[in-house]
Copies of this chain bind each other. A is one copy, B any other.
């Protein structure tokens, strides 16, 4: 970490800063120029609060040289992490398809969709039981009953399942869930992340709507620092000024993350745009950008299921998508898991 000190700093404040830094177990390399003094901090600076130093009167600016994340950092773990979900491998050149309905509605619905997406190539079944909704008056999901239905479908069809957790107090209900999903709105629910870090289940961590890549990795670090190394990242769009799409899918984040971290990275093209007709092009774009898999909404009954049909593909559209992905995967050096 490099700290640029203002001209003619107050001596007492300067001494305090030096003493405080040394108290954190760090060494200082001081370099005085004509107009600026630069302090180089040597040692493990992940404990240092950058914002705090930046706000001191005598400090002009601060720059971190080392990334503040360790467990998630590719520098310290050059090999790809491979997360094993019931035999299906995430990361390390494997490509996975997670698919299923937006909301769990009934056993019939979930089982039908599960069979269809499995036949088309999906390896993990998704389905929302707890639904985070902007409005308290909107449908909040089937909750406990939804988890029960997912479990039935899982064993009936023979597919591991993923579903979202919204509060740590619901954790006991997730025993039969194979991947626990943390939604965008909870990406910085630190108490939740720490508790999930104490479990041994794979966690799919969605990017917060306004989270920087570094903050996202720090949230992964929260989970990993408690001992759970099976974190899968999932890009789902960030908030920008563009009103046409619900969110702007940030596909540059994929190759950037591939440099910074060893964790597997998926993309959710359904939620990012909120428009079913954008799912196909955004899925192919995600493959091109280097994603390790996709999480896609698929529903089974386009005519009657209004709610479910919103941002979802029909099974035959999903099949078509998989066929196209299969042509593309060799170009990016990946193989689809079956």
A239: interface (CB < 8 Å)? yes
Q: CB within 8 A of A281: which of B66, B136, B272, B290?
A: B290
- The residue on B at minimum CB distance from A238 is B240
A173: interface (CB < 8 Å)? no
When the two chains form their complex, are residues A242 and B251 in contact, meaning their CB atoms are under 8 A apart? no
Known: A136-B218, A210-B210. A55 touches B276 (CB 8 A): yes
When the two chains form their complex, are residues A134 and B218 in contact, meaning their CB atoms are under 8 A apart? yes
Q: For the complex, count residues of A whose C-beta is within 8 A of B.
A: 115
A136 to B251, CA, bound (A): 27
When the two chains form their complex, are residues A51 and B246 in contact, meaning their CB atoms are under 8 A apart? yes
A226 to B140, CA, bound (A): 15
A139 to B24, CA, bound (A): 12
A186 to B275, CA, bound (A): 27
Q: CB within 8 A of A255: which of B2, B12, B192, B278?
A: B278
- Chain B residues with Cβ below 8 Å from A190 are 132-133, 136, 140, 166, 185
- Chain B residues with Cβ below 8 Å from A330 are 327
When the two chains form their complex, are residues B290 and A288 in contact, meaning their CB atoms are under 8 A apart? no
When the two chains form their complex, are residues B169 and A138 in contact, meaning their CB atoms are under 8 A apart? no
A221: interface (CB < 8 Å)? yes
A92: interface (CB < 8 Å)? no
When the two chains form their complex, are residues A210 and B239 in contact, meaning their CB atoms are under 8 A apart? yes
A211 to B32, CA, bound (A): 33
A189: interface (CB < 8 Å)? yes
When the two chains form their complex, are residues B209 and A135 in contact, meaning their CB atoms are under 8 A apart? no
- Chain B residues with Cβ below 8 Å from A63 are 2, 61, 63
When the two chains form their complex, are residues B252 and A248 in contact, meaning their CB atoms are under 8 A apart? yes
When the two chains form their complex, are residues A255 and B274 in contact, meaning their CB atoms are under 8 A apart? no
Q: CB within 8 A of A16: which of B75, B274, B306?
A: B306
A109: interface (CB < 8 Å)? no
- Chain B residues with Cβ below 8 Å from A255 are 277-278, 281-282
